[in-house]
Structure 1
Amino acid sequence: MYCLQWLIPVLLIPKPVNPALLQTHVMFMALYLIGFFLERKPCTICSLVFLAAVFLICYSGIGNCLLWSTNCDTVRCDNG
């Protein structure tokens, strides 16, 4: 479970308040995770624990996900 020490801090990096920087933040996170999984090749248990944590964070509330924006303050959420 040594590989989790490199994955858990990714969940603690705050999203930027400025909506203009959100796309850069998402790109950084995606490239970091892709590079980490290609270079370090974490064990299956670490990968599953990390993916479960991301899933729980993303679906626990609006605007919490680190990989995409579901915040109604930065995008238009009305249906009209």
Structure 2
Amino acid sequence: MYCLQWLIPVLLIPKPLNPALLHNHAMFLVLYLTGFFLERKPCTICSIVFIAAVFLVCYNCVGNCIFWGCPDEACTDSLCSNVGL
């Protein structure tokens, strides 16, 4: 589980506010993760835990997904009130 200390902070990197920079942000994260997986070769358990965490964060569609933004219509009333939208 040592390799998770380099993967979990990736989920905490904030997305840029400028929509024009979202593509650059996503490409940076894809290249970072590709380089990490090729260089460090994390164990299977760490890889599965990280992929599950990314899936859950992106599936919730709260706006914290590291690869893409969620459409506005996916935000329900209860979810939007919790986020402050």
Common fold by TM > 0.5? yes
More helix by share: 2
Secondary structure, counterpart of 2:25 in structure 1: helix
TM-score (norm 1): 0.84
Moved runs in structure 1, 4+ residues, more than 4 A? none
* 2:33 equivalent in structure 1: 33
TM-superposed deviation, 1:69 = 2.4
TM-score (norm 2): 0.79
Length, aligned pairs only? 72
Conserved in 2, the CA contact under 8 Å of 1:63 and 1:71? no
Greater CA deviation, 18-27 or 54-63? 54-63
The gaps in structure 1 that reach 5 residues or longer are: 73-80
Identity %: 74
Q: How does 1:23-62 map to 2 (within 5 A)?
A: 23-62=23-62
Instruction: Give per-residue Cα distances to partners, 1:32-75, cap 9 Å, x unaligned.
Output: 00000000000000000000000000011253310122244xxx
| Partner Cα separation in structure 2 for residue 33 and residue 41 of structure 1 | 11
